[in-house]
Each structure stands twice: as structure tokens, then as C-alpha cells.
Structure 1
Amino acid sequence: MNDVEFKDHAVLHFDESGFTGNNLLQKEQSVFCYASLECHHEEAKDYVEYILKKYRIQSSEIKGSSLLKGMRGKKAIDEILTKFKGRFKVSVSDKKYALAGKFFEYIFEPAISSANSIFYEINFHKFISNILHLELSTRGEMAEEIFEDFERLMRQGDFSSLNTLFSNSNQNGISPVLEKICAFAMYNKESVIAELDGYIGERSGKWALDLTNTALFSLLAAWGQEYIQLTAYCDQSKPLSEDQSIFEAMINREDRLTSNFSGVNSPITFNLKEPLHLVDSKVVHGIQLADAIAAAFAYLLDKDNQDEYAIKWRDMIEESVIFGSVFNEYDYLDLSKLEVQRNAILLQELVERSREGISLTENIGSYIQWLTIELKKSPLQLK
């Protein structure tokens, strides 16, 4: 890190495509893209005016979703991407997988919080999240109903309804592993209530399932690896307007801290010059360009889009999409791997401990070590 030569200051603009707030199951918007662009105001204003004039756009501002409806608009977006190549970063999230991750965060983690680092170290969270995503994607109405109940619980903040969550978990069609996850949730509902009561539904807690804050923080952290100080202009957003405390803590923050999460070192601090600016895109033109970039990534991530622009833009994914973007990784469900077999047995162990009222975390590290040794000696023959 000491050998890195940092640039002085970046003026950054942020906007999204696919915002649906807490509703992560909306079928029309399956992917959330949050784009960031490094660009000074004057350059952005001049370039927006150039694009509007060159492509005869019948509007006073650039709107990515509108431009994608026609070939001329796609050409305009393509020119924007070419012009600012290397100067934008994007956070992308599959919303169903993000919801599965939130499920682990709010249903599992409160019960295992005293030893959560152990569970994260062995990727138990990814095992659970990927199973839930698979169920949500392939099992049909049963899985959809469970997740809709979870979304409703988190949006409304009514924890009295937790008793009815998964009430249909014993109906035909539910898989054995989802049944175990449902059982874990029911046995540990009190820990969920204790952890979240008074938070969900209040201020920023109203947006507990929204992805905006997480995406913005990750993007700023990524830019902080290149620039000494950052100034951020964001399109007006209800989640951001509710609570900016996590970003205010980064104002004039000069230390550079990282976190080792699942074996990857990632930045967790950055240096903001001043508080976030929540602005109108009609006034701050860089927001319009970020909107076009976000729309392009939402378009290229849709497998149904196979035109020349979608294919061309997919070459930008590796360069522009940051670490921390959220997508399913079904390798974490490959039962031929020791790690996955261990996590499958660990889930059963947690359910049994929950049923018997035994501590979920006491001696859990020793249990996992023993289980690892046993599986190395005698791997399970599972499909």
C-alpha cells in the first residue's frame, strides 16, 4: 500500500439503475447497478450538451433507460462509455441473491453473532445464501412466498408477524435443506427480535433491504484506493437522505484500513472532503452520465439482450465492476467439495442445537475442526 502513488482529489458522480427500494423481488428489475464517474462539473456539462445535440435527443437531460429503447440512443451511450473508459466504476447486484444474503444477515447472524467470524471464515454464509438463491430461482411459488414474507417482515418492522414466517414450511414441494433453514429461523426467532426490534422500520432502518448505501460505500472505498480525497455527488435518494452517519464518519479520514473477508483484503475506509451532496441531475450533469453508465450495465447483464452493443459492453465487466458486487456463486453448493459437505452438516448441527436449546456457538470451532478431520478421512457420497 505504501508504494501506491495516490492522485490528489476526485470529483465523483453516482446514479443507479434498477432501484426498487426494499422490494428486491420485483420481476421487471432483477439487477441493481450503481455507477460512479470521475469527472469535473464543467467537463460533464459540456459533454452532456454535446451528446444531446449530436444525437438530437428530444430532452433536456440524458436518461439512460430512454436512450436504450432505440439504436440512436444506444450509439449515444456507447460514445459515453468510450469517452470515459477507465474513469467509471460500477457495483452490480443480482437482487434475488442480495435478498438471500440479507436473509442470512438478519435471520442467521443474530443467533451466531458471538462467533460469526468462524462461520464467515468457512463460507457458511455463502453456502446458505446460494442455497436460498437456488431455491428462490427454481422452486417456484413456495420459495417465493417465504421470501415475500421475509420482505414484508423487514419492510413493515412488525416482529409479531415473525411467528407466521415459514408457516407453510411443511407443505409438499419444499426441499429438505430449505426445511432446515426454515426450522432454524423458527427456533431462533427471539434472537432476531432482540437484535432488530426498534431498528427496522425506523429512519434508515426503513431501508434495511435496500442496496444503495452498501453499493455507494463500496464504490467510494474502491475510489479511495486511487485518490487521497473524494467529493461525492449523488442523485437524490430516500435511503441516502435518511441517514448518512456511516459516510460522515469518513470525512477527513486519513487512515487506510482493510478487512480480510473470506480471504480477500478489501478497503473499509476512504477520505471524503465533505458530506455527500444529494443533488438534482438536471443541475449536476455528471449524474446524467452516471445514469447512462448504470443503465448500460443493467442492459448488458440481461441475458436476453444479445445485440451488438450488449455484446460489446460486456467486455467492460472485468475492468469496471468492483469487488463486493453481489452475484450467486453455485460453486459453494458443490457437494463433491469438503467445504460444502462440512457446511451442509453444520447446518444440520445448528438446527439440532436450536431444537434442543443448546448454545449454537459454544465449542463450535472445535466441532468444525473435528468435522473437517472426519470428512478428510471419510468424505460423504452426496449429490
Structure 2
Amino acid sequence: MSQKIYFDESGFTGNNLLHPTQNYFAYASVATDDDEAKALVDRITKKYNIQGGELKGANLVKFSKGRKAITEVLDAFDGRIKISISDKKFALAGKIHEYIFEPCYSDISSLFYGIGFHRFIANVLYMEFIARGAGAEDLFAEFEGLMRDSTRPDLETIFSSSAVAQHSDTIRLIREFAQMRHQDIRSELESLADGETGKWVLDLTNTALYTLLANWGTEHDVLTAVCDHSKPLQHNQEMFNGMVGNTEKLFSDIGGDRHPITFNLSGPIEFASSHDSHGIQIADAIAAAAVYVFSGARDDAADHWRHIIARQAHYGSVIPDTDELRSQFRPQLNALVLQHLHQRATDGISLTDGMSQAIADLVRSLKFSPFHMA
């Protein structure tokens, strides 16, 4: 028997991950059925006299009465919730690795993922953005603009706006590497330019939904996904349609962590309006609560929600991990790898030939002579 999972989001800004007031994106899911969801929504809307008889999370979090309603939702479905939440600026930093670095060594990308180079780039850029701003902020804005208009002809001078007096050495290395490898980046962007995937390339919805479904698939053999209408999802159904009727359970071990990557859908994703779907209303309230908590709210409701959400908001979430930069070995290794990639790009030699041995040599040298990062 198929398990229905309802999905909805909060904080959607599409390709605009630098939105000045919407810093977080949450995609929430809840396992329930139509009858249970309707009964709960009807009871809560009557109890709290919620206008329109519909749960709208963005409105509920603004008022004490609405937050009490969300508390009842979270308590009722605790243990049947999965949430993916992303810090948008950190997600954008991760996209910089995905579209600036990875195209340059795509044939051996698993080698770099294995040492956490993608995490290093994302975390160090995010910290540059938050701590110093100068250079990093311009780099982020220019990258986002590039991804919105991938046809620009001047990739040879990409990130020139980040060449300011206050820039860090890391920003300089990334900027110069991108300029020297602009042909690889151009080829990657051209592959996106004509399709709907490129139109929503920075949006976080598809990845969040896929990750949530994969994790639900470890608990239920067959899933029926019901989502609120979403342009990014409706434009890109291929990877979800490929899971219809799939019974193979596969996992990925990239980066040293084990993650499910398949699931079994009973049919194509179903789209419904929140007005017509009580399950989507519940998911909407949960997503709004997650954004409210992660945005730093401090009140009785947020304190109560924080413990529930923390247990159920780690499914594909894209959140800064400062421990990635605090540990001794990994950030040192990846700082050296960045320098090594920059040097190879400067010399005009292959970024892939002998790279496995080069990284092994860097590991060996670090064990004998570690250094302190600034």
C-alpha cells in the first residue's frame, strides 16, 4: 500500500538566493492521509478561529494564536515529519563549487568530493561573505547574475568585481582559477542554456524534494507524492518520473556519508492547491515554522518547535558547518588542493592527470608538516 506524503515550502525566491529578507528556504513533508489531515485542520481552524478555514504558515507565525495552532500541528505529527532547510547564501556558495570548479574536473569529481573539497569551498566562501563581505559579496552577486544569464560572453573576466583591495587570498585564488578555466565553465553553462533546467538552476526545490522522497523511501516501499503547485517542479519532472515503479534501493557513499538515492513512486508527482489539500496546508505550516526557527526567533513557540524541528530537519539541508574549517587536517588539505588547482590552471596543464597521486602527496606532506590557517 502506498504512503501519501504531502509537501510544501516556505521562503521560496527561485533563482534569487541573495534575497535581502528571505534568508532561508524550507521544504517540509508530512506522512498522513486525506481524512486525518482534514480532521486536524478543521479542528485547529475552528479552535483558533483562523480566517478562511485554511492553515497558511506565513500568516500563522506572525501571531500568538497562529503559533499555538502550529504547535498543535507539530505535536500531532512529530515523528512523521521530514524537513529540508537551506541557508540560501550558503547554498549559493555550494553552487559556486558545482558550476565553477566541478566542470573543470568532472571526470574525477568523486576524488574531490571524497576529501570534502566542495564543503571547504562552500564554507570558506560563506565565512568570507559573512565576516568580511568585501570581495566575497561582489563575487556572490556576480555569480548569481551569471547563472540567471548564462549567455554572457565575458567569462574571461568573470568575478573581476571581486578584485578589491580588501579581498582575501582565497577569493583571489577562486577568481583567477575561474578566469583561467573559463572555457570549461562556458561549456557547462551552454549545456543548461536551452533547457528548463537552466531556467531554475539555482532553485532549491527539486533537490529538496528528491532528497526527502529518498529518505521517506527507506521507511515506505511505495510513496505517493502530493505537492503544492511549483514552477520549478512542474518544469522538471524527468528525475521523478524515473522513480515511478522503481523497486531498487540504492545508496551513495560520496564524501564518506551514506545517503539513499532511489525511491518508489506510485505514479507521477501529484500537484494540488493548498486550498484543496489539507495535507499541503499541514506541510506549509511546518515549513513556515522551520524558517521561523532558523531565522533566530526567540519566544515560547520557537523554543518548543526548535527541539521538534532539529530532529527532523537534516534531510538534504544546506547549512553552514563551521566545524569543517575548525578541524586541523581537512581544511589544511583542501587549502593546499585549491592552491594546487590554481597552479595547474596557471601552468595550463591538466587538472585531472595524476591528481590522485598529487593529493596523496599533499596528505603525506601535511602529516609531517602541518600549518596554521589564517
- TM-score computed with the length of structure 2 as normaliser: 0.97
> 1:198 and 1:18 mapped to 2: Cα distance?
28
Q: Of residues 305, 322, 340 in structure 2, which corresponds to 1:313?
A: 305
- CA gap 1:253/1:177 in 2 versus in 1, 3 angstroms: same
The alignment partner of 1:233 has SS state of strand
Q: Do residues 71 (structure 1) and 79 (structure 2) align?
A: no
Where does the alignment leave 5 or more consecutive residues of structure 1 unmatched?
1-7
Q: Please say which of residues 134-143 and 68-77 is displaced more in the overlay.
A: 134-143
CA positional deviation for 1:210: 0.3
Q: Do residues 295 (structure 1) and 269 (structure 2) align?
A: no
8 Å CA contact retained: 2:135, 2:167: yes
Q: What's the counterpart of residue 112 of structure 2?
A: 119
Pairing of 1:65-144 with structure 2 (within 5 A): 65-144=58-137
> 1:33 and 1:318 mapped to 2: Cα distance?
13
Q: What's the counterpart of residue 332 of structure 1?
A: 324
**CA deviation string 1:246-280 (max 9, x = no partner):** 00000000000000021111100000000001111
Q: What's the counterpart of residue 153 of structure 1?
A: 146
CA positional deviation for 1:27: 2.0
Q: Do residues 231 (structure 1) and 224 (structure 2) align?
A: yes
Q: Do residues 167 (structure 1) and 151 (structure 2) align?
A: no
8 Å CA contact retained: 2:156, 2:180: no
Q: What's the counterpart of residue 349 of structure 1?
A: 340
CA positional deviation for 1:381: 3.8
Percent same amino acid at aligned positions? 46
CA positional deviation for 1:76: 0.6
8 Å CA contact retained: 1:256, 1:269: yes
Q: What's the counterpart of residue 236 of structure 2?
A: 243
Q: Of residues 247, 251, 254 in structure 1, which corresponds to 2:247?
A: 254
> 2:163 and 2:192 mapped to 1: Cα distance?
31
> 1:71 and 1:133 mapped to 2: Cα distance?
34
8 Å CA contact retained: 1:219, 1:322: no
> 2:163 and 2:343 mapped to 1: Cα distance?
17
> 1:76 and 1:11 mapped to 2: Cα distance?
23
> 1:362 and 1:24 mapped to 2: Cα distance?
35
Letter in 1 for 2:314: I
The alignment partner of 1:59 has SS state of helix
> 2:121 and 2:291 mapped to 1: Cα distance?
26
Deviating beyond 3 angstroms after TM superposition, the runs of 4 or more aligned structure 1 residues are none
CA positional deviation for 1:201: 5.9
CA positional deviation for 1:230: 0.2
8 Å CA contact retained: 1:11, 1:232: yes
Letter in 1 for 2:257: V
- TM-score computed with the length of structure 1 as normaliser: 0.95
Letter in 2 for 1:377: F
Q: Do residues 56 (structure 1) and 53 (structure 2) align?
A: no
> 2:143 and 2:161 mapped to 1: Cα distance?
13
Q: What's the counterpart of residue 365 of structure 1?
A: 356
**CA deviation string 1:11-45 (max 9, x = no partner):** 01100011000000112111111000111112212
> 1:103 and 1:382 mapped to 2: Cα distance?
22
